[in-house]
A = this chain, B = another copy of it.
Amino acid sequence: MSHFRPVALEHASRLINHGPTVLVTTADGSRRNVMAAAWSMPVEFTPPRIAIVIDKTTFTRQLMTASGTFAVCIPGAAAIDLTYAVGSTSGREVDKFARFAIATATGPELGLPLIEAGCAAWMECKLIREPHTEDAYDTCFGEVVAAAADARVFDQGRWRFDDANADLHTIHHLGGGTFARVSNLVAAKPL
């Protein structure tokens, strides 16, 4: 049984507020792909908009540009090996969903392939065309049109990382295949 529940759009940007490494899924007609991306950030809460760096030589970028859509799936610690694997092979040569036996759900708004097993959340996005920044910085802007998260780790618009859901803690790539997992929540005290 899936633990994924819809996330209100005004809370969607919080899913990547803390800088996790993500998986980007794309589809155009019968072609589809998944890759890892360490470089993304929100740029606005309402409407929920994000920026993500996708190299112009990648198959993902080709499918994003052709379809005008992409999805961001947020892997948990259980998906570290998968994240590194899909970041180290090209979808031009192999269907990575088949190669790594990745089950997909179908996005409710854009029909994109979404990964829930091993992931904590996902967002379907419409590409906002910005040819100059796409070209100069490989920086692509998108507007989130649907989002969902595993309610065991993100609920009521907040991440709820604790010892019981460690496999769903987001992962943060340090380079060279080494990831850190977030934990140790601290609430700031007034100075």
- Cβ-defined partner of A180 (8 Å) among B42, B84, B184: B184
Task: Check if A41 sits within 8 Å of B43, measured CB to CB.
Answer: no
Q: Mark A173-191, 1 if CB is under 8 A from B, else 0.
A: 1111111111111111111
Q: Which residues of B contact A191 (CB under 8 A)?
A: 81-82, 85, 100
Oligomeric state, in copies:
2
Q: CA–CA, A51 to B100, complex, Å?
A: 33
Q: Which residues of B contact A53 (CB under 8 A)?
A: 41-43
Q: Which residues of B contact A19 (CB under 8 A)?
A: 16, 18-21, 38, 41, 172
Instruction: Give the size category of A's interface with B.
Output: 35 or more
Among A1-9, A23-31, A129-137, the one that faces the other chain is A129-137
Query: Which residues of A are at the interface with B, using a C-beta cutoff of 8 A?
Result: 14, 16-21, 38-44, 49, 51, 53, 77, 80-85, 100, 130, 132-133, 137-139, 141, 157-159, 161, 169, 171-191
Q: CA–CA, A133 to B84, complex, Å?
A: 31
Name A182's closest neighbour in chain B (CB-CB): B180
Distance (Å) between the CB of A13 and the closest chain B CB?
Answer: 9
- 23 A-B pairs within 8 Å (CB atoms) are namely A16-B19, A18-B21, A19-B172, A40-B41, A41-B51, A43-B138, A77-B184, A81-B190, A82-B191, A83-B188, A84-B188, A137-B141, A158-B174, A158-B175, A158-B176, A158-B178, A171-B186, A177-B187, A178-B187, A180-B182, A180-B184, A182-B182, A183-B184
